[in-house]
Each structure stands twice: as structure tokens, then as C-alpha cells.
Structure 1
Amino acid sequence: MLMMGGNQSRGAPVLDEEVSFDHFQILRAIGKGSFGKVCIVQKRDSMKMYAMKYMNKQKCIERDEVRNVLRELQVMQRLEHPFLVNLWFSFQDEEDLFMVVDLLLGGDLRFHLQQNVRFKEQTIQLYICELALALDYLQRSHIIHRDIKPDNILLDEHGHVHITDFNVATVLKDSETASSMAGTKPYMAPEVFRSFVDGGVGYSYAVDWWALGVTAYELLHGSRPFEIRSSTAAAEALHIIHRQHLRFSSVCSRATLDLIRSLLSRDPSSRPSRLSDVQASPYLTDVDWDAVLQKSVPPGFVPHKGRLNCDPTFELEEMILESRPLHKKKKRLAKSRDKRSTPLPMHMQSSLDSLTEDFIAFNREKMKQRLVSDSPDVQLMTAANKHHDGQNNNNNNIILTTGSSSELH
């Protein structure tokens, strides 16, 4: 593995101080978006591996993405689920905003589709179940993801799915609906286009279940059910959805096709849009949902462990083409602090100041540590130990075994 950072050093867990860039060892670049990049990092104290997404502040402002970035942070800080890519830390420096999340080395489903992987029906069944559990959790948290697609579904090393990228997610209160056209057009539900074209009544959580149907269809057939592209106008996309006949493969069971067909119902009121609706499908009657949630059902497709399941050119670009490479950040910032930098235009400086002030730092490690220390069982053990020490004059240490994240909630 190509090392992009300095020497590794291990110390005490960073709990009482703010987490910063210096607490991570940069290992390699694995992806990039329009204004953000992703690399593999290792936390120096715990030696745990994570994925770190970093976004240049000025580019966020220039591309009017600040609101989306802050909203994504706000959403991710309140979520934790076995089938999501969970946020662990967020912090900032003069140049960038950082989000440190679960590291999933199995690649995204788009990558595997491009590698001509043919997913078996049983594998797709498990994906639908795992994603349905994640969407149900989001719905109970009043969140619409709005961009469910193969690109935003990552596999862990065992082949389980995890939803990522909450950049266009939105939070609904009570019975309100959303109205803006957000997401990726080939995966948008008809009511999203309708809301944009004629005002409509807005849309709700059912749009994510439509996108699940499109994704399942694509995994099954290797192509999407509707010929809609990013350049397709909203009115035309709506026309295509309502006029184009769905064609299904004859190699799959009738129950599978019926489930996907129901997820692709044009009428959101008749579309499965909650976990109980999907569980009622004849296709899934034999599913042990508790076992699925515990990840005890083995996936039919396991990503290749001997290679990086992403485009290797990301790393070359970071090392060769990037004018401000991440692994040279510490020296670069030290130099810029020593020098008098050229003042930024007033509007840019004002926007940067606002972004710096509005950004919320986050440390899930610290949050979990507090949950454990505030637990009545832990307090009782501590009190008992103190009492025991007082009687016997011993300095016995209490060993606390913390459970998994699901056990803490």
C-alpha cells in the first residue's frame, strides 16, 4: 500500500481534545467528486481505518454547495445504522472541511456493474432487504435520502450494502412534503418530476423506494428500466416513465419481478413505501429479518479482497496532478501561516468566516465514551469498585467491555 503520510505514532485515544487532521495517517486516495475527494486514513491513537472525505472551502462557496455540505453533516451526525456509511468525526482547517466515515473496501455497486458482475437473484434479494431496513430507519428519522442509486451503495468486505452520500438528503417534519428536484434523474420518482413541472403536491419517503426499485432492476438486468439521462428534461422524463413499457428478464422468478414492479409503481400511494409493505411481499416471506439486521445472512457476492475495488487513477492524480496534495498539507499550512497571504475579496472572506462559524465539529468516539460512562451499570460498577478498594486497600482496575454500536442504542 502506498503511504502518503508521515510516520505512524500511537498514543492515548483523542477524547477530551478536538480531533484534527494531525490525528490521522493518510494512506491512499480512493475517490473524488465534483468538489470533494476521499482517501483511506488510519487514526494514530486507535489504529482504526476510516475513509476521509475532504472538501475545499473556497470551492464549496464558489459552487454554492455550502448549504448542502452543512445539511449533510447535520443529517449524518444524528444517524447510525448497520447499513449506512456512518460518520465518526467532522472537523475543519483553513483550507478544507473533513468528514471521517466507515471504511468500506468492497467498492460501490456501480463499480461492480461496470466490471460486468452479474448479480444472482438471491444476492439482489438480500440487497433489497438490507436497503429496506436502512430506508425504514431513515424514514423513522424523518429523512429522505433522495439519491439512492448503485453509485451510492457501498459494499463492505463481506458483501453487505451500506448507503452513502447524504448531500441532497432532506428532513421532513410531521406530514410535510418536499418539492425541489434533487437527486439523479434516472432514479427520480415520477412525483419528483411532477412537482417540478406543474407544482404538484410535493413528494415524500416513497421516492427512495422508487429509487430502490430502479436500482434492483438495474442489478438484475444490467440496464435501467427507463431511458432517462441527466440531460433529459423533467417533462420528457415524466412522459417516458408513464409511456415506456417495463421489460423484465424471463430468467427470474415471478415473485422477484412482482416486487420490483410494485416498487416501480407510478402512483406513490400504491408503491411499497415502508418496511412492512416490503415484508408482506411473497418474494420475502421466508426472510429472517433479525438475521438480516445482524448481518448473519451471507451475501451471494463477496468483493475481491486482493485488489482495491475502485479506479486506481484517483491515487495517481492525487500524487502527480494535484496542485495542493493532502499529504503536503501540514507543511503548506505552516508556510502560509508564517507568510502574509494575499487578502481574499471581501465577499469570499465573509463567506469563509460564516462557513467556519456554522461548521459543526463531531466526535462519535467521545459521544460513545460518554454513553458508556453515563450508563447506570458502569456507575454501579465504579461505586462498587471504590467500596471494594476502601475495604481492601487494593487498586483494582475496572475493565469495561463496550458493545457494538447497535448495543449502545
Structure 2
Amino acid sequence: MGANTSSKPPVFDENDDVNFDHFEILRAIGKGSFGKVCIVQKSDTKKMYAMKYMNKQKCVERNEVRNVFKELQIMQGLEHPFLVNLWYSFQDEEDMFMVVDLLLGGDLRYHLQQNVRFQEDTVKLFICELAMALDYLQSQRIIHRDMKPDNILLDEHAPEMFNSRREAGYSFAVDWWSLGVTAYELLRGRRPYHIRSSTSSKEIAHMFETALVTYPSAWSQEMVSLLKKLLEPNPDQRFSHLSDVQNFPYMNDVNWDAVLQKRLTPGFIPNKGRLNCDPTFELEEMILESKPLHKKKKRLAKKEKELRKRDSAQKCLLQEHLESVQKEFIIFNREKVKRDFNKRKANLASEQTKDSQEEDGQNSHL
């Protein structure tokens, strides 16, 4: 009886806030300076997601809390076929969590490192899809500022962008220049500019203005012409709107509705038989991680006892910062937002039908 009871999936009320217990942790697939990403499955719906989790203490120590909150606020208001959309956000004593669309095709940087060379037709489709994503962000007054192969993820249909950021000292044209750099790198396997880690920002700025970008003779003149428009050093003359790309002669044969609806199959499709990411992330989580995610519940229980014993001023100050994060964190549930919207829509339609029937009855009596 005990075994049968424990094997049943937990029952969750759809009106309750989503939390860590609602998900089964499957495996680690990536990491950043203070955050990690793993594949999870929601216990009640069995849907798969990517879950990004960020350690609160590290965020406080590195003064990154406001940036995390800003990213959460932005992503809650966005939804587009070519963006990695946020579904849930929640927290516990240790971490802040963001649950987003899962794309198992890997990022474009991974495939470049696997020596994949993308054909021109494939890159052309990628440009169309990414241009539509940039156009949507532009309509929301958001500059991405970090478009590169590392932040472009693939599923079996299309690339999608992650890590949107609010405008801060740039114009929208910077994203379209980044699109040109990304397309060039996908075609050639390297960037159009030679920059080392030791190159100063002043030298980089001068290089962008003066460097002569070379284009292989094997590329079509139409593609080269488009890339030159995207890589134009003068932002006022650069392509920086979706209409610029759509009206370019090279794009005359593109069905833009089909692009948006993901009906066009790219020439490159990631291998579905394997996970397209670096396997060392999983090994690090299992072997090297001092606070593995799957041992979180036991760790939090132990941490609660330790907090009662802490009395140093420094630790109290840190605790104040962590409590501030706890209070200000933004909880989000896109599933619940959609459900509430559909209910309101159905109620409104029902009221309109009722009013119409009552009006018809009054007319018949007349």
C-alpha cells in the first residue's frame, strides 16, 4: 500500500502558486556565472521545460538582483513564436527560478563548434525568423543587445532568441548589426572581424568603422548585398526594420506568413537522437556541485536550523538583502494568465449572447 501510494504523482490545485515541488528535475544542460539551466517536467501536465535557476546569495554579492528582476519583468510581457517565452517564475530560500520553453536542438554556437556549416538557404530562413523576432521586440520598445549564436536556440522547426534586455544607451540598429554578424558567422564559421580578448574597446570601435569585411566568392551576390546592409557601420544607413529586409529583392520569394507559422523547414535540422549540448554540465552537477538541485529539500531544512544560530553583523546584513529579494521577487504563471483570460472571454461572450436573446424576445413581444 505504501509503495502504491508513493508512486502516485502528487496532486496540485491549479489555483495554487507553482513552485519547485511541481517539477521533476531531469538533467543539467547549461550554466552561467551565477545561474544554471536544467531540463524539467511539470508533474501534473507532463510538459517539458527548461528551468533557469539563480542563486540569491551570489546575485546579491554581485549586485545582479535588479538585473534579474528587470529580465523577469520584461519576459512576463512578451510572447512570440521566435522568442523563448517565460511560463513560470518562483523562488525558495536559496534560488530564483525561471521556467521557459524547452528547445532541445541546442544553440547555434554549439553547432558551429561541431563544425556544422550552414547552407545559404538555411541562413536566409534564419535571417527571416530572427528579423521577425527583432521586429516584435522593437514594437515593445526593447533592444536585445546580445544577439549571437550562443543565444539562438534551435528546435526541429526554427531558431528562437533568449535573454532579452531593455534599451540602455543603444538604438535598435545595434540588434540588426548583430544579426548581420551572426549570419556571416553561420555561413563562414568565423566572425567578420578579428578581435582578441586583449583588444581594447577603443580599438574595437575603430575596427568596426574602418575594417574591410571580406565575402567569399562562393556566396551569392544577393546574400552579400543583404549582409552589407546589415553590417553597415553607419546606423542611420543600416537596415534596422523588418520592412527593410522584407522589401529587399533577395527576399521576394519568401512567404512571410509561412515563416511566422513555422511551416518552412530549414535545411539544417538538429539530431533528435541526442541532447545537443555539452555533456560536462551534467557531470559537473553530479560530481562537482556543492549544492546539487536534487538535494535541495534536505539542504533547506538544515539551513533553517543554521540561520537561527547566526548572529554576526555581516551575516545579518546579507540576510536582510536576501529577505528583500524574497519580498520583491515577481511570481508569474503564464498558464494561469491564459486560463483566466479565456474564462473572462467566455463569460463576456455568454453575457453578449444572453443580452441578444433578451433583445430578440422583447422584439417578438412587440
TM, length-normalised to structure 1: 0.81
Is the aligned partner of 1:224 residue 2:200?
Answer: no
Residue type of the alignment partner of 1:293: L
What are the within-5 Å matches in structure 2 for residues 16-31 of structure 1? 16-31=15-30
Shift of residue 357 of structure 1? 1.7
| Structure 1 pair 170–262 and aligned structure 2 pair: CA distance change class (3 A) | same
RMSD, aligned α-carbons: 2.0
Is the CA contact (8 Å cut-off) linking 2:29 and 2:277 kept in structure 1? yes
In structure 2, the residue matched to 1:347 is: 317
Q: Which consecutive unaligned segments of at least 5 residues does structure 1 have? A: 1-5, 172-177, 180-202, 388-409
Q: C-alpha separation between the residues in 1 aligned to 2:150 and 2:8?
A: 32
The residue that corresponds to 1:154 in the other structure is: 153
The equivalent of 2:363 in structure 1 is none
Partner residue in 1 for 2:350: 380
* 1:241 maps to 2:239: no
Alignment of 1:8-157 (within 5 A): 9=9, 11-12=11-12, 14-156=13-155
Kept in 2, the 8 Å contact 1:118–1:220? The answer is yes
Q: How many residues align?
A: 347
Q: What secondary structure sits across from 2:184 in the alignment? A: helix
Deviation for aligned residue 1:342: 2.9
Indicate how the Cα distance of structure 1 residues 381 and 325 shifts in structure 2: closer, same or farther if over 3 A, else same.
farther
Cα contact 2:310–2:316 (8 A) shared by 1? no
Answer yes or no: is the 8 Å Cα contact 1:19–1:363 preserved in 2.
Answer: yes
Does the residue aligned with 1:346 lie in a helix, a strand or coil?
A: helix
Distance 1:150 1:336 in 2: 39
What's the offset of the Cα at 1:9?
Answer: 1.4
The change in CA–CA distance for 1:117 and 1:229 in structure 2 (over 3 A counts) is same
1:367 aligned to 2:337?
yes
Taking the aligned partners of 1:74 and 1:212, their CA distance within structure 2 comes to 25
Give, as a single letter, the amino acid of the residue that structure 2 aligns with 1:305.
Answer: K
| Distance of 2:196 and 2:173 partners within structure 1 | 21
Take 1:360 and 1:20, find their aligned partners in 2: how far apart are those partners?
Answer: 13
1:183-202 to structure 2, matched below 5 A, reads none
Cα distance in structure 2, aligned partners of 1:62 and 1:8: 41
8 Å Cα contact 1:79-1:86 kept in structure 2: yes
Q: CA deviation at 1:251?
A: 1.1
Please say if residues 248 and 257 of structure 1, whose CA atoms lie closer than 8 Å, have aligned partners that are also in contact: yes
Query: How far does the alpha carbon of each residue in 1:301-349 deviate from its partner, in whole angstroms, 9 at most, with x for none?
Result: 0000111100001011101111110000012112333453535623322
Structure 2 equivalent of residue 208 of structure 1? 175
SS in 2 for 1:266: coil
**Could you list the per-position Cα deviations for residues 122-144 of structure 1 after superposition, in whole angstroms to 9, with x for gaps in the alignment?**
00000000000000000001100
Partners of 2:329 and 2:61 lie apart in 1 by 17
Q: Which amino acid counterpart does residue 161 of structure 1 have in structure 2?
A: P
Instruction: Name the structure, 1 or 2, with higher relative contact order (CA <8 Å, separation 6+).
Output: 2
1:378 CA drift (Å): 7.3
Query: Aligned with 1:251: secondary structure?
Result: coil
Match runs of 1:247-266 below 5 Å = 247-266=214-233
CA drift of 1:77 comes to 0.5
SS of the residue 1:64 aligns to: coil
Q: 1:271 to 1:16 in 2, by over 3 A?
A: same
Which protein has the bigger helix share? Answer: 2
Query: Counterparts of 2:115 and 2:8 in 1: how far apart (Å)?
Result: 38
Q: Check 1:324–1:258 CA distance in 2 against 1; reply closer, same or farther (3 A cut).
A: same
1:270 matched residue in structure 2: 237
In structure 2, distance between residues paired with 1:7 and 1:218? 49
Judging changes above 3 Å, is the alpha-carbon distance between structure 1 residues 382 and 276 closer, same or farther for their aligned structure 2 residues? closer
Q: 1:223 to 1:341 in 2, by over 3 A?
A: farther
What is the distance in 2 between the residues matched to 1:261 and 1:277? 13
For 1:258 and 1:148, the matched residues in 2 are separated by 21
Larger-Rg structure: 2
Cα shift at 1:377: 7.0
Name the structure 1 match of 2:362.
none
